[in-house]
Copies of this chain bind each other. A is one copy, B any other.
């Protein structure tokens, strides 16, 4: 019966069986100390001989637990029997037990199975798993239904740019950039409130520390809203719940990364400024006129939010119509849409959508689109679709910003970019 390394202390004086990976071997004359790593932590094993296994081999060891104040956690196992479950070749691509910050990003991603053995790197994904859970938990509590929509779409709803083509039997289809149209269809179908956690694809060629060509999108759509402020209110409460779950469940990981999450009180103070106001603030801060919000501007706005509102986040709304897709709900030359910037990075785009059939038909030609080209989409609105809107949070970006990672790829298990299609 296996004992996890974290539970060793409770077994002091008893025989236990522990299983895991050989993290470190230290030979001191006739005695050897082996650190054994499992999913729960690390325990020291003591051998009265030279163990005949390599670093990173998988073993099961049996022996008595005894107190030793010099051992990690204060206890160790005096091994009497070892079983080698799977030997590791001696040519490890890099040391698992070293400083993960000294392993380059390319090596971390090329050798995922090895790099994740470093507890600090693996912890990124324990935290990410917690984000997936708390996001869904909050929305279920608000009567949202979780949906799974197709990622294979027959036509590019916004033209073919930015889409990956798939050879699908006799046809050519595309990987969906977002489930937004399906979310809207579900709202119109009467589910009213839906969320989806799924892959999204962008065939964009840029290779930056903030972009992935395949990412996980946390998507929300809800009906019977008054305006986009209802959506921002909802996102604030989602994030408040997610952050408080991270604080409760991932305290050790936050400490390890010297990271913190905004408190509920802080995140509720997130200011809401218009796109015009945002440009003003950036221009003033930078001492020169800016005409759009670029990555530098996003950082400036978040600094401004800290100084003026004590929170590292800011909603920017009232984007000009020409900067948003055709489906953004118009408000004169502006739209009822918004971005959320967090710690200098856009982590959400959202907004109210056009829900009236006539308004949609009016909008399409302004964007060079036709009803025929968007027949299935237009159909959603033909038979009664309530006022609604939604938003999407990028899972990897949220993970990145919570932990202060340099590159969003660090927050993706198997990231895909223009050149990286493996492992």
Chain B residues whose CB sits within 8 angstroms of the CB of A86 once the complex forms: 355-357, 381, 384-387
Chain B residues whose CB sits within 8 angstroms of the CB of A112 once the complex forms: 185, 189
Q: Which residue of B lies closest to A151 (CB)?
A: B199
What is the CA–CA distance of A207 and B169 in the complex, to the nearest angstrom? 13
B168 and A164: CB pair below 8 A? yes
* Count of chain copies: 2
A-B contact pairs, 15 of them (CB 8 A): A37-B190, A38-B190, A85-B386, A86-B355, A86-B384, A86-B387, A88-B383, A89-B357, A112-B189, A113-B383, A132-B148, A147-B413, A150-B415, A164-B166, A169-B205
B149 and A188: CB pair below 8 A? no
A147 and B125: CB pair below 8 A? yes
> Shortest Cβ distance from A1 into chain B, in angstroms?
11
For chain A, residues 78 to 102, give those with C-beta under 8 angstroms from any C-beta of chain B.
Answer: 85-89, 92
Q: Which 10 A-B pairs have the closest CB atoms?
A: A116-B189, A88-B384, A376-B423, A150-B414, A39-B192, A88-B383, A154-B422, A154-B421, A129-B146, A58-B384
For chain A, residues 1 to 40, give those with C-beta under 8 angstroms from any C-beta of chain B.
Answer: 2, 19-22, 37-39
Q: Is A306 an interface residue (CB 8 A)?
A: no
B189 and A149: CB pair below 8 A? no
Q: Which residue of B lies closest to A381 (CB)?
A: B86
For chain A, residues 365 to 423, give those with C-beta under 8 angstroms from any C-beta of chain B.
Answer: 376, 379-387, 395, 413-416, 418, 421-423
Q: Is A193 an interface residue (CB 8 A)?
A: yes
A88 and B382: CB pair below 8 A? yes
> Shortest Cβ distance from A154 into chain B, in angstroms?
4
> Shortest Cβ distance from A372 into chain B, in angstroms?
14
Q: Is A316 an interface residue (CB 8 A)?
A: no
What is the CA–CA distance of A169 and B162 in the complex, to the nearest angstrom? 11
> Shortest Cβ distance from A127 into chain B, in angstroms?
10
> Shortest Cβ distance from A411 into chain B, in angstroms?
10
> Shortest Cβ distance from A8 into chain B, in angstroms?
16
B193 and A39: CB pair below 8 A? yes
Chain A contact residues: over half helix, strand or loop, or mixed? mixed
B113 and A129: CB pair below 8 A? no
- Which of A88, A143, A166 is the most central at the interface, judged by chain B CB atoms within 10 Å of its CB? A166
- Which of A114, A153, A214, A418 is the most central at the interface, judged by chain B CB atoms within 10 Å of its CB? A114
Chain B residues whose CB sits within 8 angstroms of the CB of A125 once the complex forms: 145, 147, 191
What is the CA–CA distance of A75 and B72 in the complex, to the nearest angstrom? 67
Chain B residues whose CB sits within 8 angstroms of the CB of A257 once the complex forms: none
What is the CA–CA distance of A418 and B87 in the complex, to the nearest angstrom? 45
Chain B residues whose CB sits within 8 angstroms of the CB of A383 once the complex forms: 56, 88-89, 92, 113-114
Q: Is A198 an interface residue (CB 8 A)?
A: yes
Chain B residues whose CB sits within 8 angstroms of the CB of A126 once the complex forms: 145
